[in-house]
Amino acid sequence: MPIDATHPYDDDNIFARILRGEIPAKRVYEDAFAVAFHDIAPQAPVHLLVIPTGAYVSWDDFSARASEAEIAGYIRAIGHVAREHGLVEPGYRLLANIGAHGGQEVPHLHVHLFGGRPLGIMLSQ
Ligand code: 5GP
């Protein structure tokens, strides 16, 4: 069920619990600003999620409230993870769903990183 991205942050959302280590995840990267792990239901040969370590509901929330250091750290982590997985030369796709029309289901900002095959059209018609 898509979330309302204007809701306040829920400390018990599934990605908050992954950040705290309460739920296992196949982590591929972590630093002070970001954690990356495999999506539990991959939709491409490479399907990773990159999340900020701070408590932000969505891209909207993050872009409005995060510090310059958090924004730089998060964006650099996404690029780093893509390079580490050899995705730059073949190409890849980033996706952030925001709120109900975006189809966002987990209310902690996450960017999907898809790759490993040609990904086709951007949106289903
Ligand atoms: P959204 O629709 O919010 O953009 O994407 C949420 C993503 O989180 C989905 O692709 C879903 O498969 C993934 N996901 C949901 N629960 C878990 C979980 O417990 N662990 C991991 N690794 N991914 C999850």
Count of CA atoms in the C-beta half-sphere (13 A) of 47: 9
Cα 20 to averaged position of ligand 1 atoms, centre (Å): 16
| Residue 43 falls in which region: left (phi positive, over 0), alpha (psi -120 to 50) or beta | alpha
Q: What is the pLDDT of residue 54?
A: 98
Q: What is the pLDDT of residue 2?
A: 83
Q: What is the pLDDT of residue 5?
A: 67
Global pTM value: 0.96
Cα 95 to averaged position of ligand 1 atoms, centre (Å): 13
Residues within 6 Å of ligand 1 by CB: 14, 23, 25, 37-41, 97, 103-106
Provide the 10 A C-beta neighbour count for residue 115.
21
Instruction: Specify the DSSP element, H or E, that contains 50.
Output: strand 46-52
pLDDT in tens, the chain (125 residues): 787 767 789 999 999 999 999 999 999 999 999 999 999 999 999 999 999 999 999 999 999 999 999 999 999 999 999 999 999 999 999 999 999 999 999 999 999 999 999 999 999 87
Name the residues annotated as catalytic. Answer: 110
CATH number for the segment(s) 14-115 = 3.30.428.10
State the Cα–Cα distance between residues 58 and 6, nearest whole angstrom. 9
